[in-house]
Each structure stands twice: as structure tokens, then as C-alpha cells.
Amino acid sequence: MRDPFAVSAAEAQHLAETFGTPLYVVDESHLREKIRAYIDGFASVYPHTEISFASKANSTLAVLQIAADEGCTIDTASEGELEAALRAGVPAARCHLHGNNKTLAELERAAKEGVGQIVVDNFEEIERLGAMGKVPDLLLRLAPGVDPKTHGKISTGQADTKFGFNIADGSAERALLRALELGLPVVGFHCHVGSQLLDPEAQRSGGALITDFALRMRREHGFTAKIINVGGGLGVRYQPGDQPMPIPDYCRLVVEAVRESLQGEWEPTLVQEPGRSLVAESGITLYTVGVVKTVPAGEGQRTYVAVDGGLSDNPRPALYGSKYPVSALPQDGRTMAGTRPMRVSGKHCETDMLFDMVDLPGDIRPGDFVQVQCTGAYNSSMASQYNRYARPATVIRRANGQFELVQRRDTFDEMFARESLISL
């Protein structure tokens, strides 16, 4: 398993001088290798498979372009993400539209563009689709009642969730029967139990439960699902203790669980929707150190290393207590001294602690760089202009080692383009 992508001190210096910081950097070769590992690992254990890239993880156009070029369909969770996929050159038929509260306008747009699938989430949506006339193929999203071992804010497969039709209380069966009654083109079932799963059992359970449901619908109502989509969720290496299993082993275990539930009656297409596990380890964020400050802390001292980004380019530490691999790179080529625990803070007008008690060189100083690995997923997607800071640029390290700008930094003109003054 390839290590998470990182840049050298010389590359960091070049990137900072050329593109500025904070800066998102994605390694093209690393990303392509991850996608191929999923596609090949899945196909090696089951005859009919599909990998759909969950674009919520990173909807930068160049990333979507690479994912599609490697053979992924694109999973979109909003009209904006669908628009991104289309602008990246992905045919609408290779896109899926998700969302727990799709508007009629979003559904009509998806139908007009001819998306490959809409993942239906609630009864209101069924009725809206039934009144629209011709619509794309539909999957029903099911809540299988699986509570995975992950952060509560990224757990989605339990019974108490806003997503999908509950199997246990009969909602899933009623939804299928109503959709069929309306003549809607239901082709299968979908679930997603959660994200950053280092233990595959929740994913296996979710896949088995929705397949059990599909088997019962086949026997009791004569409906044969053509597609079983088990979602995504495999974790990545944010910390040394995070040891996700090899992708081929993960695919094999998920397929084994689904196959057992199929009982040999038919072979639907199996779909997975990885996002984080494809792109997280392929990206870094590069910061420049601005201030190093040591202050009293209890009976000792604490050193703060302030960087030129923070909450607006990575809100996940504040939202989820997320941790990342953090290292320092010198800006002058020197050899940096031994490490000690420090707190990396951002520059926003609040506590804005990015990374607490990470080991950084004792001689770190203004102008040096801080490299944060495994930020290819959800950092660019969740970036904001809080405190009126510009969202970072994104560059791709191409297979030949050259860096190519694919998303430029916000300008002030863009930042204020939507606003106007009032008459006084």
C-alpha cells in the first residue's frame, strides 16, 4: 500500500513561490493508482461491478476529470456537484444524483440532463417523480439499521437517520410498492452506513441487509433488483494507528457478505461509492508559518505555531476533532532540529486550533512550511471565505512531476461580486 502523498522541502519552496499558500496539492499518479486498486480489486471478486466516485469528497473539476478518465461514474449530492461533473466533461448518463431533500428543480434538472440514476430518499420524492413523466432509472436509498464505529456526524446507516427508507419499520417495502404502482423505473437499492470505517463489518452488514431485503422483494413481489449499491466508507490513514485493510481484501469481504445474502438466485450489478478513500491520501495542504509564540500553560509552557490558513480551508478539526499527519519543511534548505509537541493554530478571529500537540522541529520559524497530509478529501470541498480570507488554489502534480494549476485562489473581485451597497 503506497504511503500518503507528500512533497519535499524543495517542492514546497517552489510551490509557495509559484502559487502561494495555503495551497491544496493533489498527486495525479497517486489518485489514479487508488482508483485502479478499487476497480481491479472489485472486479476480481465479482463479475458485474461499478465504482462511483463520491464527488462530495473533492469536486474540483480536474479531480472529477481524472476519476471519470479512470472509469468511475460520478456520485453527486446536489445540483452544484452535478454541474461540476458536467463541466468536467462527464456525460450525464455517467452521473448519479443523491440528496435527502432534493427540490423539484433538482429532480427536473437531473431528468432533463439524462443522469444515469437518481437515488430516491423519501416518499415526497417518489410522488414528485411520479408526476414528472419520463424520469431516469431510480435506486431507493435504504436505512439498514447499522450503527458503525465512527464519528456520530458521519454515521448514516442507523435507524435514527435523515437518510433513506427504514427497512425494519416497513417503510422500504412501502416505498418500493408505491414507486412500482406509479410505474417508476426502479432498478435497485442503495445504502451508505458511514464514513472513515476502519472495520469492514458495518459495511458488510449494510450490504447484507439491503441484499436480504432485495431477495425478499424478489420472492414476495416479483421485483428483481438489477443494482445493489453498498455505498462507500473505507477509512484512510489520518493517524499512525489508522490501518485500513488493503482495498482488494475490503472488496472481497464486502462481496462475500452480499453473495451470501443473494443465495445464488441472481447476479445484480454491485456498486461501491468511495470518495475519501480514493482522494484523501492523494492530497496535501501546504501552509507558511507566520508566527511562533511560546506562552505559559499551567505549570509549563506551550508553543503556538501560527500558519497562514485555518478554519476556512480546513473546518474538519473544529467540526469533528479530526487529526492529520503534520510535518514541517524548512524554507531555506537547512536541516531542522529535534522535535517537541506544539500547537498549530490558524489566523482566524477565534481559537481556530488546527492541530493540537503535534511534534514539530524545535527551531521552526517564520517562513518555514507546514505540510498536512491526507487532505485530498473534504478540505477543498468544505472551504469557505470566513473572515474574508480567499479560498486556496489547487494544483495537480502530474505524472511527469510538473505542477499544474487547476483551481486558482479567490480574488477580492470574486469575493464581493455578489454584493451591493444600499442607498444612504
Q: What is the dihedral of CA 331, 336, 338, 341, to 10 degrees?
A: 0
Query: What are the grid coordinates assigned to 221, written together?
Result: 413481489
Class of residue 74 by CB neighbours under 10 A (exposed 0-12, middle 13-18, buried 19+): buried
State residue 157's pLDDT score: 44
State residue 15's pLDDT score: 98
The answer for residues whose C-beta is within 8 angstroms of residue 240's C-beta and 6 or more apart is: none
Residues 243-266 have a mean pLDDT of 95
Whole-model pTM: value is 0.94
Q: Where in the chain is the domain with CATH 2.40.37.10?
A: 281-415
Q: Which residues are catalytic?
A: 349
Alpha-carbon gap, residue 197 to 253, rounded angstroms: 14
Pairing, β 186-190 against β 137-143: parallel
- Spell out a b/e string for 204-216, using b for 16 or more CB atoms within 10 Å of the CB, else e: bbbbbbbbbbbbe
Alpha-carbon gap, residue 109 to 416, rounded angstroms: 28
Alpha-carbon gap, residue 49 to 229, rounded angstroms: 10
Alpha-carbon gap, residue 30 to 35, rounded angstroms: 9
The helix/strand/coil state of 340 is strand
State residue 149's pLDDT score: 47
Query: What are the grid coordinates assigned to 6, written together?
Result: 507528500
Instruction: Please report where in the chains the cell 465512527 appears, as a residue.
Output: 150
The answer for residues whose C-beta is within 8 angstroms of residue 38's C-beta and 6 or more apart is: 51, 247, 251, 272, 274, 277, 278
Whole-angstrom CA distances from 181 to 126, 143, 335, 364, 369 are 11, 22, 71, 67, 61
Q: Where in the chain is the domain with CATH 3.20.20.10?
A: 98-274
CATH topology of domain 98-274: TIM Barrel (3.20.20)
Residues 161-166 have a mean pLDDT of 86
Closest CA relative to residue 205, chosen from 155, 164, 264, 258: 258
Find the range with the poorest average confidence among 125-134, 195-204, 238-247.
195-204
State residue 395's pLDDT score: 98
pLDDT tens column, 24-76? 999 999 999 999 999 999 999 999 999 999 999 999 999 999 999 999 999 99
The one-character DSSP state at 360 is E
Instruction: Please report where in the chains the cell 462530495 appears, as a residue.
Output: 56
Query: What are the grid coordinates assigned to 183, written together?
Result: 410505474
Closest CA relative to residue 230, chosen from 192, 268, 269: 192
Closest CA relative to residue 208, chosen from 142, 259, 270: 259
pLDDT tens column, 215-234? 999 999 999 999 999 999 89
Mean residue pLDDT of the chain comes to 94
CATH of domain 281-415: 2.40.37.10
